[in-house]
Amino acid sequence: MSRSEPGFPQLPLDTTLPRDWKTLTSGPEMPLVCLTDFQAYAQEHLSKSTWDFIEGGSDECFTRDDNIAAFKRIRLRPRYLRDVREVDTRTTVQGEEVTAPICIAPTGFHGLVWPDGEMSTARAAQAAGICYIISTYASCSLEDIVATAPRGLKWFQLYATSDRQLNKQLVQRAEALGFKALVITVDTPKMGNRRCDFRNQLDLQRNLLLKDLRSPKERHTTPYFQMSPIDSSFCWNDITWLQSQTRLRIILKGILTKEDAELAVKHNVHGIIVSNHGGRQLDDVPASIDALTEVVAAVKGKMEVYLDGGIRTGNDVLKALALGAKCVFLGRPILWGLAYKGEHGVEEVLNLIKNEFHTSMSLTGCRSVAEINQDLVQFSRL
């Protein structure tokens, strides 16, 4: 695969796995008390190429870093002398209740950091009572993920390939398996320029034994599946076509501007995830939190708006909700938890940030998610 071709950049197989599975299961002696503690643990225990793949951004990584820095430009305006003995973090996404507005973003290849991969992640999400968006490029089959966490709220993320029939089969398979929404990633007509992956000669398709995207039945009747390239021609008309193929609610992931948000409203989609792909696609775009208010204003309450990118604390969650997000989605921190202790590590990450969010709500005088509003934040004059 050349660098000019859409797809994933190349990695020798013997560097894809963590250095020592036994080390990962034992856990460190010191307690991990914040998300960056999990980050440090994962960096120490994963191979360099795996860590670079997870943590890397595109080009100079400006947007990746700005996703985090942008939250620090926002200050909180707490309200006191309120009875906060009972604080309720519950909310809903697309009509389904979640225990907190903190869910799991789609990231691929969880098998890189833990043997059970996405099955462990799905069990943790189910235990936490939150939504998990499963990637097209999951290491595990959709059937296995659903079987291991049958009660969990799951959405399916689609990278549209140039094989329209495969797109249709994937979507209808997810619908038949009980997924509740279809998340279409729109910011990837071509893979971003991820320098670390090029330096490491990463080739995920060749070396990770990518699970077959076809259904189990189709695998017995058709030749071995070769991963189709991303469809660079995918456009708004294709959104309309997908709507005709499924009853699933459609969410667009990667919208950053009011113009595209207005088109999303025009095309009757059900939600938007404001996202810059964790700074892994086009560098020098706005941080997700900086793009949020423009998108929220453009949709005028006609659909739910979510956010991913840069969430590292409970205060970050509160700031995103104050600026109009219905819910936030975590990407890299979930992989850090998975690298720490698999399913239980992901649970720890989720519980930690949920507890931080509960504290943030209490200390700003919010007794329910509905009480979080824009009056709680101001932008720093620095």
**Active site residue: 45, 270, 277, 358, which one?**
277
Residue 157 assigned to a binding site: yes
Does the active-site annotation cover 277? yes
List Cβ neighbours of 83 (8 Å cut-off, separation of 6 or more). 367
Residue 7 assigned to a binding site: no
302 alpha carbon, distance to own chain's centre? 23
Task: Please count the CA atoms within 13 angstroms of the CA of 97 that sit on its side-chain side.
Answer: 4
Residue 4 assigned to a binding site: no
H or E stretch at 141: none
Residue 135 assigned to a binding site: yes
What is the DSSP code (8-state) at residue 177?
T
If we measure between CA atoms, which residue out of 99, 140, 95 comes closest to residue 122? 140
Residue 126 assigned to a binding site: no
What CA–CA distance (Å, rounded) separates 24 from 41?
9
Residue 332 assigned to a binding site: yes
Residue type, 349: V
3-state SS record for 205-269? HHHCCCCCCCCHHHHCCCCCCCCCCECCCCCHHHHHHHHHHCCCEEEEEEECCHHHHHHHHHCCC
Residue 107 assigned to a binding site: yes
The two three-digit tokens of residue 304, written as one number: 């739910």
Cβ burial, residue 254 (10 Å; 0-12/13-18/19+): buried
Helices 62-71 and 314-322: crossing angle in degrees, nearest 10, is 80
Residue 148 assigned to a binding site: no
Residue 106 assigned to a binding site: yes
Residue 194 assigned to a binding site: yes
Residue 344 assigned to a binding site: no
Backbone angles phi, psi at 16, to 5 degrees: -85, -20
Residue 253 assigned to a binding site: yes
Residue 228 assigned to a binding site: no
Residue with the two structure tokens 């991820």: 194
Residue 132 assigned to a binding site: no
What is the DSSP code (8-state) at residue 358?
H
Q: What is the DSSP string of 326-338?
A: SEEEESHHHHHHH
Residue type, 140: C
Residue 233 assigned to a binding site: no
Number of helices (H) and strands (E) in the chain: give both, helices first. 15, 12
Contact indicator for 122, 129 with CB cutoff of 8 Å: no
Residue 314 assigned to a binding site: no
Backbone angles phi, psi at 210, to 5 degrees: -50, 130
Residue 161 assigned to a binding site: no
Residue 63 assigned to a binding site: no
Residue 139 assigned to a binding site: no
Binding-site residues for FMN sit at 106-108, 135, 157, 185, 253, 275, 308-312, 331-332
Binding-site residues sit at 106-108, 135, 157, 159, 185, 194, 253, 275, 277, 280, 308-312, 331-332
- Which residues are catalytic, by number? 277
Binding-site residues for glyoxylate sit at 159, 194, 277, 280
